[in-house]
Amino acid sequence: MLFNSFTFLLFFIFFFTLYFLLRRQLLAQNLLILISSYLFYGWWDERFLILIMLSTVTDFITGLAITKQKPTLPQALALTAFLLILGSILHWRTWDTTAWTILPLLLFVGLGWLLHSYLFNLPDPSRKKAFLLFSICTNLTILGFFKYFNFFADSFQQTMALIGWQVDPFTLNIILPVGISFYTFQTMSYTIDVYRNQITPTRQFIAFAAFLAFFPQLVAGPIERAKHLLPQFYQLRTFNSTDLKTGAWLAIWGLYKKIVIADNLAPIVNKIFADPSTASSGDLMIGILAFTFQIYCDFSGYSDTARGTARMLGFDIMINFNLPYLSKTPTEFWRRWHISLSSWLKDYLYISLGGNRLGTLKTYRNLMLTMLLGGLWHGAAWNFVLWGAYQGTILIIYRFLRVDDWLAQRQSPKLICWLQDLGLILIFFLITCFGWLLFRSPSLEIIQTFILGLNGFTYSHHLPVLAFYLWPLLAFQALQIHYNHPEPLPQLPRFLRLNLHLFILFSLLFLSSKGGQQFIYFNF
C-alpha cells in the first residue's frame, strides 16, 4: 500500500475513524495501530510479516532478559497468541504450503527457549552481552539473508572466477522484503539502548509491537529511536486541531514532493541514465541534477508524509531532512540528510568503532567503515559500496583540511562569511551531485560515459521541465530559510497561506505524474 494510492486514502480514513473512536482506550488504540500496520505491510506480501513478528518477539524478550527480567504470565500469553498468529500465517501463506513449513518456527521457538534458559542464568556482564549478541545476530541474519545473500554469493563466485576457480552459481530466488533495513535498524537500536542502560526495557508487548510496526514510518523511515517514539505508545494521544491541520499539510506537502516533483523528474532521469552515450553534455548535467532532486523529493517526501500522518494520530516523529543541499561540508550534510540513518550509524557504529577518540588514522578508518556500511545499507550492489567509499573519502578529505574547524573559528565580516558560505555550498553541492551519479549508475561503464560526456555547457531541452517542477520547491525552501523553520506556513499571512494550499492541491490534482512510481527508498 503506497501513500500515493487511493487504497491508502481509504485505509487511512477507515483507520482514523476507528482510531478516533478509541481515543480513550490506550490498549485498544495500540492494538488497532498494530493490526492496521500489519495490514498496511501485508498488502505487499503478507509472508514477510513473519520477519517483523520474529524481530518483535526476539527484541522484546532480549530487552527484558538483558535487565534480568522474564515475561509475566499475561505477557507470556500475549507472546503465545502472537506466535500462534505467526504460525498461522506461516502455514496459510508461505513459500511452501505443506505442514512442515511450521518446523522452522517450532525450531526457532524451541531453540530460542533453550538458549534463553541457558543465557538467562549466566553471570551479569556475560548475560547482557550474550542477549545483545543474540538479538543482533538474529536481526542481522534475517537482514543479511534477505538482502545480501545473492549479492555476496554472486560476488564470491565472480572473485573465484577471477583467480581461475569456477564455482557453480548458488544464488537463490529471494524477494527483498519492503522496508526490512528500516525496521531492523529500529529494533536493533532498542536492544542496544537497553544494553547501554539508556532506556528501560518495555513490559508492554502490544505497545512495543506497535512501535516497531508503526505504519507511517514502517517501510521507509525515519528510523525512530525507542527512547523517542516508544514512550508515546504508553500514553493516550491527544487530538487537537493544530496537529491535525499541520499534520495533514505536512503529509500533503510530502505527497506533492513525491508525486509532482520526483515522479515527473523520473522520466528524464530514467531516459538519460538508460543511454548516456547518446546524450549531450547538457543532457548529462540535467540528468544528474534531476536525479539529485528526484531522490531528495522522493525520500524527504515520504518522510514528510510519514511525519504528517503520525502527527495527525498524535505522534511526533523525528525530522529526517533539513535542507541538505545547503550544506557546506559533508559533516553538515549528514546532519541534514537522512538524519535518522546517519545519527544511527554515528551512535551505533562510528562511536562503537571508537569514533574520533583513537587518533587520526583510526578516525579516518572509522569514517570510511561507517560510510561503506552506510552505502551497503542502501542496497546489495557495488555502486552503493562505491558511493559509500566516495562519501567516506569526502569526509576524510574535509576532516584532513579541517574545514569544519575553520568554519567554527572564522571571524570574518558578515558579508565575507556569507560569500564564503555560498562558495562552500556550491562546491559541496557539486560534490554531492557527483555522489548521486555513482549512486544511480548501475555500472562503471555508465559512470565513465557520464564523466567523458561532461565536456562543456550545452543547452538541454529538459532544462525547462526541470525548472518548471523545481521552482515551487526552491520557493518553499526560501521560506524555510527566511523563517528559519521547517514548517513556515503558519507564519505566513492567511491569504498567502490559502493560495499556497490551493497551489499544492491543484498541483496534486493536475500535475501529478501519470505513471505512479514506487518510492526509491522502498528498495533499501
Partner 1 sequence: MKKWPTLFLISFYCLLFGEVFIRIFAPVALMPRYVTGAEYGVRMNIPNSQYWQTTPETQVQLRINTQGIRADHNYDYTKPPGHCRILLFGDSFFMGYEVDLTDSFSQLLEQNLLKAGYACQVINLAVSGFGTAEMLITLANEGLKYQPDIVVFQWHITDPYDNVRSKLFGLDAQGQLIPLNLTYLPGIPISDWLTQFTLYRWLIENSQLYSAIRENTARKIKSILVSFRKNTSHSLPTNDETDQSEETGNNAISPYAMQLSFRLLQAAQQLAQQHHAHFYVLEIPRRHSRTEFSSQVPDFPAELVQKLSLLTPLSVLQAAAHPEVKLYYEKGHFHLTPLGNRLVADYFFQQLHNSGILKSFKILQ
Where does this chain bind partner 1 (CB under 8 A)?
267, 498-499, 502-503, 506-507, 509-511, 514-515
∠ Cα 247 248 249 (to 5°): 90
CB neighbours (10 Å) of residue 97?
A: 10
Minimum CB separation of residue 289 from partner 1 in Å reads: 21
Which one of 116, 378, 461, 501 is the catalytic residue?
378
Single-letter code of the amino acid located at 352: S
Instruction: State which residue, 480 or 507, has the beta carbon closest to partner 1.
Output: 507
| Residue 52 or 262 having the CB closest to partner 1 | 262
**C-alpha span between 306 and 523 (Å, rounded):** 17
Minimum distance, C-beta of residue 468 to partner 1, in the bound complex (Å) = 8
Q: Which CB, 420 or 507, lies closer to partner 1?
A: 507
Q: Minimal distance in Å, beta carbon 186 to partner 1? A: 35
Q: 391 vs 275, 333, 368, 374, 439, CA distance in Å?
A: 26, 10, 8, 9, 11
DSSP state, residue 350? I
Q: If you count them, how many residues does the chain have?
A: 524
Grid cell 548529462 is found at 284
Output the smallest distance, CB 41 to partner 1, in A. 23
Is residue 378 annotated as a catalytic residue, yes or no?
Answer: yes
CB of 303 to partner 1, least distance (A): 26
9: its cell numbers: 486514502
Nearer to partner 1, 351 or 511 (CB): 511
**Distance of alpha carbon 515 from alpha carbon 505, whole angstroms:** 19
Q: Measured from the CB atom, is 456 or 515 closer to partner 1? A: 515
Distance CA 287, CA 283 (A): 6
Residue 82 or residue 469: which is nearer to partner 1 going by CB?
469
Closest distance of CB 15 from partner 1, Å: 22
Contact of 291 with 40, CB cutoff 8 Å: no
Least distance (Å) between residue 274 CB and partner 1: 14
Given the complex with partner 1, which of 4 and 342 has the nearer CB atom?
Answer: 4
What is the DSSP annotation of 111-142? Answer: HHHHHHHHHHTS-HHHHHHHHHHHHHHHHHHH
Return the ∠ at Cα 383 (arms to 377 and 384), rounded to 5°. 15
Joined together, the cell numbers standing for residue 208 give 512495543
Measured distance CA(474)–CA(235) in Å, rounded: 39
Q: Which long-range contacts (CB under 8 A, 24 or more apart) does 386-393 make?
A: 386/438, 387/435, 387/438, 387/439, 390/434, 390/435, 390/438, 391/330, 391/435, 392/367, 392/368, 393/368
Rounded to the nearest angstrom, the gap between the alpha carbon of residue 118 and the centroid of all alpha carbons in its chain is 36
Query: Which residues are catalytic, by number?
Result: 378
